[in-house]
Structure 1
C-alpha cells in the first residue's frame, strides 16, 4: 500500500513541473529570441500543450492516491500534498531555472505555515 503513496507523490511532482512551465514559462519567452515575437494565441497553445502533460500525471496521481480507490489519501490530503508540491516546485524553478526571484524571510515563514497546514490536515 505504501507504494501508492510514493507513486502519487512522484506523479504530482512531474505534474507540477509541467504546470509551472505551462503557467509561468511563457513569462520567460523574452529571453529566447525565436519566442519573443509570439502572440497571445501562440502562447496559449504552447501553454495548453504543456498543461496536457500536467493532466497526464495529475489525474492518475489523484486516482491512485485516493482512499476510495485503494490509495492512502483523502481528498483533503491529496489537495494539501498537491499545494505543497506546487509551491516547492515553483520555488525551485523560479529561483534556480528562471532566476527571476530570490528567497526571502517571508517565503520561509509562508512555507512554515504550509508545513503546519499539512500537519493539521493529516491530523486525525
Structure 2
C-alpha cells in the first residue's frame, strides 16, 4: 500500500510539472499559414519578388478584439471585431490629418498564457 501511495505521489508531482510547463506557454486551438505579397512586386521578368509567410496561431472561441474611439479618455463607438482563422479585419475612414486607432486585445485560452493589451496607432494622411 505504501509503495502505491509513493507511486501516486510521484505521478501527481509529474502531472503538476507538466501543467506548470503548459501554463508558461502560449497554447492555441489551431494554426495556419498566411502569405502576404509585397505591394512593390512588379511581377516583371527577372524582377525580384518578395513575400511574407506568417504562421498564425489562434483560439477560436476565447480571443477577441474591440476597436473604439476615445473622447475625453472615455471609450466610444465600441466595435467587436470578428475574425476568420485568427485574422481580424479593421476598416476605418481617415477623416482627419492625424487619425488615432485604439484596439483592446484579448487572447485567452483554458491553458497557457493569456495576452491582454491595447493596440494604439496614429495614421497621418498625405496631402
Band of TM-score, shorter chain: under 0.3
Indicate the structure with greater strand content: 2
Higher relative contact order (CA 8 A, sep 6+): 1
TM-score normalized by the length of structure 1: 0.26
Indicate the structure with greater helix content: 1
